[in-house]
């Protein structure tokens, strides 16, 4: 089988080139993101492989289906960029549900430490031989309260890390775990009591702009907000106002709701036109990185292997454990998946 690989970066090729021969697949790397204008490049290919910023719209899906593409392989966990309901009975959609939850949780912890202790600012100063520590004061995390939103694997690993700092944990989740070892609370209580708030939930209609003007107004002015999940969880305009008005002490973001225009690209010679992003990055107590929380060698290997295994399962007619349910938008929770049946089966070409 052949794969058209969109939005390809040099670091993507390392593990995909290494593992593709093991599965017997050929890959054509395409540097541009998947759009309706370059769908034609996937002609005569069995699958397309996409990332978080590829816009897989209903129009794109129809074009791919017309060309005989059987599968859309997401080399990521999130799938809010894909109109998966439009793909029903046309193209299989499979994702990498988990690669290295430790990578993301550890990075969230690193962002927290950097924002709290101003490590990024200290680095910039000492590079200029400025060894003044005025303005770099942080707070002890020990004994403080951390509010975790989203208690899946990443969220629970983050909880373990913060417990290591001696923090008290409270958490919120629309679908809380059974018998949690931490205290589940309402969102209102989490906003009000937390010294640190870390987001680890998916972006859905229910969670879009979960952090907004109202929730920000309920937070402590000494609180630190961390987001390594999805940019759309935060209303950027409201966050800018809250930082400007000193409603919050610090912010660490590895994602941004309009990131697809800039993240993963070199814009160092460009004049940025996104005024909200420019304003956000101008604050000394805001640290923004370019969606790199997942970016470890272990995670990249797992992403490549799982992506190729997903296609191999389809090729062999096996149960697709990483297929997204086209009806409920979840994975492995509908009745068909509970009975280890795929959400739909493509009709044979001769039928």
Q: Which residues are catalytic?
A: 230, 259, 291
For the chain, the residue count is: 351
Side by side, the strands of the sheet bearing 196-199 are: 183-184, 168-172, 145-149, 196-199, 224-227, 250-253, 286-288
**Are 97 and 75 contacting, i.e. CB atoms less than 8 angstroms apart?**
no
Task: For residue 281, give the nearest of 294, 267, 293, 295 by alpha carbon.
Answer: 267
Partners of 4 in beta bridges: 28, 48
Query: With helix as H, strand as E and coil as C, how does the chain read?
Result: CEEEECCCCHHHHHHHHHHHHHHCCEEEECCCCCCCCCHHHHCCCCEEEECCCCCECHHHHHHHHHCCCCEEEECCCCCCCECHHHHCCCCEEECCCCCCHHHHHHHHHHHHHHHHHCHHHHHHHHHCCCCCCCCCCCCCCCCCEEEEECCCHHHHHHHHHHHHCCCEEEEECCCCCCCCCCEECCHHHHHHHCCEEEECCCCCCCCCCCECHHHHHHCCCCCEEEECCCHHHECHHHHHHHHHCCCCCEEEECCCCCHHHCCCCCCCCCCCCCHHHHHHHHCCCEEECCCCCCCCHHHHHHHHHHHHHHHHHHHCCCCCCCECCCCCCCCCCCHHHHCCCCCCCCCCCCC
């Amino acid at each position: 089988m052949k794969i058209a690989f969109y939005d390809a970066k040099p670091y993507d090729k390392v593990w995909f080139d290494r593992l593709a021969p093991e599965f017997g697949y050929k890959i054509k790397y395409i540097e541009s993101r998947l759009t309706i204008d370059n769908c034609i490049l996937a002609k005569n290919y069995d699958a397309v492989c996409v990332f978080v910023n590829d816009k897989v719209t209903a129009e794109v899906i129809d074009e791919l289906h017309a060309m005989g593409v059987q599968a859309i392989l997401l080399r990521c966990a999130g799938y809010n960029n894909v109109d998966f309901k439009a793909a029903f009975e046309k193209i299989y959609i499979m994702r990498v549900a988990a690669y290295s939850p430790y990578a993301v949780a550890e990075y969230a912890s690193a962002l927290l430490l950097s924002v709290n202790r101003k490590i990024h600012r200290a680095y910039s100063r000492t590079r200029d031989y400025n060894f003044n520590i005025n303005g770099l004061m942080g707070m002890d995390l020990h004994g403080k309260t951390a509010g975790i939103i989203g208690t899946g694997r990443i969220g629970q690993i983050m909880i373990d890390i913060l417990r290591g700092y001696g923090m008290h944990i409270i958490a919120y989740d629309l679908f809380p775990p059974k018998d949690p070892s931490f205290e589940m609370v309402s969102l209102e209580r989490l906003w009000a009591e937390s010294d640190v708030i870390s987001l680890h939930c998916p972006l859905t209609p229910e969670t879009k702009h979960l952090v907004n003007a109202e929730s920000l107004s309920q937070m402590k002015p000494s609180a630190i907000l961390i987001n390594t999940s999805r940019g759309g969880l935060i209303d950027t305009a409201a966050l800018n106002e809250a930082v400007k008005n000193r409603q919050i002490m610090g912010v660490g973001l590895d994602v941004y709701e309009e990131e697809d225009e800039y993240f993963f690209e070199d814009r160092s010679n460009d004049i940025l036109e996104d005024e909200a992003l420019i304003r956000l990055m101008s604050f000394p107590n805001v640290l923004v990185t370019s969606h790199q929380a997942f970016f470890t060698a272990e995670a990249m290997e797992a992403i490549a292997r799982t992506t190729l295994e997903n296609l191999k399962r389809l090729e062999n007619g096996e149960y697709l454990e990483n297929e997204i349910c086209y009806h409920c938008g979840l994975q492995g929770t509908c009745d068909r998946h509970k009975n280890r049946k795929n959400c739909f089966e493509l009709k044979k070409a001769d039928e």
